[in-house]
């Protein structure tokens, strides 16, 4: 589906997809793929009571966006903000300082 995503981002009817970061859209496709794999594995085992098929989520139920590439974001701990691609600087609520390096960022 990642190949389809590239075609969808370049198509005139779905050009609005190009306004968002591509890495976050790829992460959503990975989550969707994992949920379908879990569902079909459970169905093959005959255990469909625990796993439901993937469905649409309401606002607030989506796990958010994930930025997997550390080159795409920048953390400013002194001003408690983070710079994300195409979103620029966003305020950040830190409960404790980050001591190591950031490998990915999730925005909920």
pTM: 0.65
- What is the distance between the alpha carbons of residues 25 and 8, in angstroms, rounded to a whole number? 11
Domain ranges of the chain: 2-107
Tokens of 84: 């994300």
pLDDT at 48: 67
pLDDT at 89 over 90: yes
Which residues is 76 bridged to in the sheet?
81
What average pLDDT does the segment 75-92 reach?
A: 90
pLDDT in tens, 11-69: 999 888 888 888 888 888 888 888 888 888 888 888 767 777 888 777 766 677 888 88
């Amino acid at each position: 589906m990642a190949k389809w995503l590239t075609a969808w981002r370049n198509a005139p009817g779905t050009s609005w997809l190009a306004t968002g970061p591509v890495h976050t859209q790829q992460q959503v496709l990975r989550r969707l793929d994992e949920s379908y794999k879990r569902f079909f594995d459970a169905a093959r085992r005959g255990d469909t009571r625990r796993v439901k098929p993937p469905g649409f989520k309401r606002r607030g139920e989506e796990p958010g966006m994930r930025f997997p590439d550390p080159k795409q974001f920048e953390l400013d701990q002194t001003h408690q903000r983070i710079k994300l691609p195409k979103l620029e600087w966003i305020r950040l609520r830190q409960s404790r300082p980050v001591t190591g390096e950031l490998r990915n960022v999730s925005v909920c």
